[in-house]
Structure 1
Amino acid sequence: MSFPTLNAYLLEVSSSLDNADAFILAKLLSFKDSHVSNPKLHKESPELLCQRILDTPYDELVAAHLKGCVAVANCNYREAYACQVLSVQIFVRIFQPQKDDNWSLPLMYTLILDLRNFANEVEQEILQHNKGKKGDTLEKAADTIMSCFRVCASDGRAAIDVSKKWGMLFLVNQLFKIYFRIGKLHLCKPLIRAIESSNIKDEFSLAQKITYKYYVGRKAMFDSNFTQAEEFLTYAYTNCHADARSNLKRILIYLIPVKMLLGRLPPIDLLHSHNLSQYRDIVMAVRTGNVHLLNCTLLEHESFFIQTGVYLILEKLRATTFRTLFKRVSNILGTHQIPLQAFTEALHGQGITDIDMDETECIVAGLIYAGNIRGYISHQHKKLVVSKVNAFPAVAS
């Protein structure tokens, strides 16, 4: 296989610059392109030839990229990451002075994607060899991405068709991916505010809006704003392409617990079709009031629920499951004065034998306080006295 020479590659870069063709330029500076494996481009010091063919500071940008190609060929991702940080810094110097012009946005997208990918590679090395501070590389990558975001967000005077603001949502989504991975969700708040106050927030591409809604929905879930979480995650799920099975599953991992907390249980066939059998017994437990099954399922799939960050959300379903069980007991007895002993015995019947009358009374009191039961406890008579009308309100209400 014949490879183009470094001189031919640089002339192609020069031509793309002369034609202001950011798509070709982005391809020539992308680490996903085939030129990265071209041994004729692997020069330790390409600066002189870059200076001869390209204007400053594009010569610096391309030289940094070529050094990154050498680093990738040597599987040195720390060096590749450092080269990519330099590439983005040089790009910002080029990008910021461009008035009334956003032609280079596709190049920015490529540079930022490669930067985050290299940061992920370095993080993997840190985890495997325990050399370095976990999350530090990704956090520094986020700082570099923020330098691009500030340029885009501050471009308020340009006409909308040439505004750099079109790059904001892409950058926000990349920052979300980093902040969620390193557990710094509080840093998402100013980014959300910037997008929501933008006059083009509804004009971004559908793919970018789906990613944005997915992450904002997840953040709302962690903030216990379940109504908003359902709204954003439902938008992401509804608008996601039907063939993007992995993305649909990723959205459902969070949408299903949110909907269950709001009193809407998913059909079992939906769980099967997206290979989410971990939720099957959770749904059955909540539907039937089987507290023991809920506890066992949370324990069985604990690693999955913790890894995805939904364990504590699913824990909240315990109150809903208690409510369902106690409602069934109330329906069986057919009275609005229910002995607390009946609830205790129902729990014992499920195999939960370590709960006594006092603990049952505490559980019932918590359900009354949360609005899951309308009534009061007669401590003297050890009975729950429930309302004769809608004693167990629907969870969705």
Structure 2
Amino acid sequence: MNSPLSLYLSFVLTSIRNEDASNFRNCITINPGVNEGSLRSSFPEPSEFDLYPLPEKFRPIIKNYLKLMKSIYILNDIDSSLNDLNEMVNNLNRAADTQTNWINPALINASTELINVYQVKQKSNPDVEQQQEDDGTTASTSSSSSSLEKLATTINNSFKLSLNDKNLDLKLSKRTDIYFFLGNLIKIYFKLGKLELAKSVEKALKGTRFDLPPLDNPIPSKKKHSVTYLYYSAMLSLDDSNFVDTESKLVTAMNLLSYYREPKFITKHMEMILMILIPLRLYNNSLLPTQSTWEKFPNLKFVYKDCLFKAIIKGDLKSFEKCQSRFQVLFLKRHLYLLVENLKNLCYLQLVKKVARIFSQLSDDKASTHIVPLSAFQVGLEVSTNWKRDQNNSYVAIDPSQPYSQHLDEIECILANLIFEGKIKGYISHGNKCIVLSKTNAFPTQVVRL
């Protein structure tokens, strides 16, 4: 009579011979069902004779797997479970090197479980995890860093295995699932604070001579992998101040999300994407979200509409800088700080418009209202930067006897940047200390709602 171990190994062998992805995945999952999991954990350690019928490269996988099940179901040891599962995935990578992409589902499932076990381990050490979340770095001496680096090495091996598959038929190539490994790998590198490594793997992807799968794969789960990759790839572009590419990637990710029918999944990921995309579209195209978007995402409304954008539209530099300081940690964590700093130019632009309009209304020479002295902007900038309120909540007038905080040369630089960016049409007359605005369309940039 065959023992339970013999029956299990026979099932494994049949799955491999038939290249049955679903059954093989179930053979090496840590969640085969409570009863089956308990049964497998009770198997004796297989001998070389027991494993001999299996292909040579698959023997270490099964040996590791049965050891892993004991760590989970009998020892209940999270550290041993993580190490055993990591070793199993590494052995799975070695076996997959000689296989077509029939093995991908098992490799993806094992990698997903490896990431999940790591996350469970992190919950048992929340202080270290919190440090990583807040400042984006990880102390090299911490155990969590060591575990995460091992995880990165393992997922990187899976990524290279997929990328270097030389099978020209994409339908049979392991490259079909490359965005799963790439997205998770870049995500881990972000958590480790190793952005140069994240850039290097993306560069390797772009440098391959083999065909890659489309990002809008018809299979929903693969679209999810594409969204993860696009999100982190967009943040790499954001760090390089490549705002056009960043927007393109995030818009593509938003379109892929429309295929999902899981409200919680969509809302969570859409908010993460919109956290970057909303200020990006304002900077790139002067576009603001609709009221319905603000209502759907109150956190974004609080940060942007009620604070940052309100200051920009009013040309209120003091409020802008206060908001920038208030949400500094959030902006740094989401790699938004450089973008927000660039949005300051829009705040300057709104202030310049306001000053030009006031000067035009007060000027006696209506034919020359397009020629505005730099001193007018100097006063406007002083008011916007250093305004105060008295006890009656009224604005306190700026004392003209006090020196201004901004020199005229700085005013020229601000205006010159806005002209260079195409936000103002006109030219600066340094000798006459004024700006000559276009009579027809001095301010072509208009903020509009989507």
Quote the Cα distance in structure 2 between the aligned partners of 1:259 and 1:36. 53
Quote the Cα distance in structure 2 between the aligned partners of 1:165 and 1:12. 28
Q: 355, 360, 363: which one pairs with 2:405?
A: 355
Ranges in structure 2 where 5+ consecutive residues have no aligned partner: 132-138, 361-368, 388-403
1:257 corresponds in structure 2 to 279
Q: 426, 430, 446: which one pairs with 1:375?
A: 426
Q: CA RMSD in A?
A: 3.4
8 Å contact kept, 2:235–2:246: yes
| TM-score (norm. length: structure 2) | 0.75
2:438 corresponds in structure 1 to 387
Quote the Cα distance in structure 2 between the aligned partners of 1:187 and 1:229. 17
Quote the Cα distance in structure 2 between the aligned partners of 1:355 and 1:89. 61
1:323 shift after superposition: 0.8
1:86 corresponds in structure 2 to 87
SS class of match (2:213)? coil
Counterpart residue type for residue 115 of structure 2 = R
1:62 shift after superposition: 2.3
2:61 corresponds in structure 1 to 61
CA deviation map 1:299-335 (0-9, x unaligned): 2222222222212211110011101110121123222
Percentage of pairs with the same residue: 24
Q: Mapping of 1:182-201 within 5 angstroms? A: 182-183=192-193, 184=195, 185-194=198-207, 198-201=211-214
1:179 corresponds in structure 2 to 189
1:5 shift after superposition: 6.7
CA deviation map 1:210-245 (0-9, x unaligned): 333333333222222212211121111122036211
Quote the Cα distance in structure 2 between the aligned partners of 1:69 and 1:366. 63
8 Å contact kept, 2:371–2:434: yes
Evaluate the alpha carbon distance shift between residue 34 and residue 386 of structure 1 in structure 2; reply closer, same or farther with a 3 A threshold.
Answer: same
Quote the Cα distance in structure 2 between the aligned partners of 1:301 and 1:196. 43
- Larger displacement relative to structure 2 (257-266 or 380-389): 380-389
Q: Mapping of 1:204-243 within 5 angstroms? A: 204=217, 205-240=222-257, 241=260, 243=263
Q: Does 2:304 align with 1:279? A: yes
- Larger displacement relative to structure 2 (338-347 or 196-205): 196-205
Quote the Cα distance in structure 1 between the aligned partners of 2:158 and 2:441. 56
8 Å contact kept, 2:352–2:377: yes
Q: Mapping of 1:83-232 within 5 angstroms? A: 83-98=84-99, 101-120=100-119, 125=125, 127=128, 131-132=141-142, 135-157=145-167, 159-183=169-193, 184=195, 185-194=198-207, 198-201=211-214, 204=217, 205-232=222-249
8 Å contact kept, 1:149–1:171: yes
SS class of match (2:287)? coil
| TM-score (norm. length: structure 1) | 0.84
8 Å contact kept, 1:6–1:40: no
Evaluate the alpha carbon distance shift between residue 37 and residue 121 of structure 1 in structure 2; reply closer, same or farther with a 3 A threshold.
Answer: farther
- Larger displacement relative to structure 2 (36-45 or 14-23): 36-45
8 Å contact kept, 2:176–2:212: no
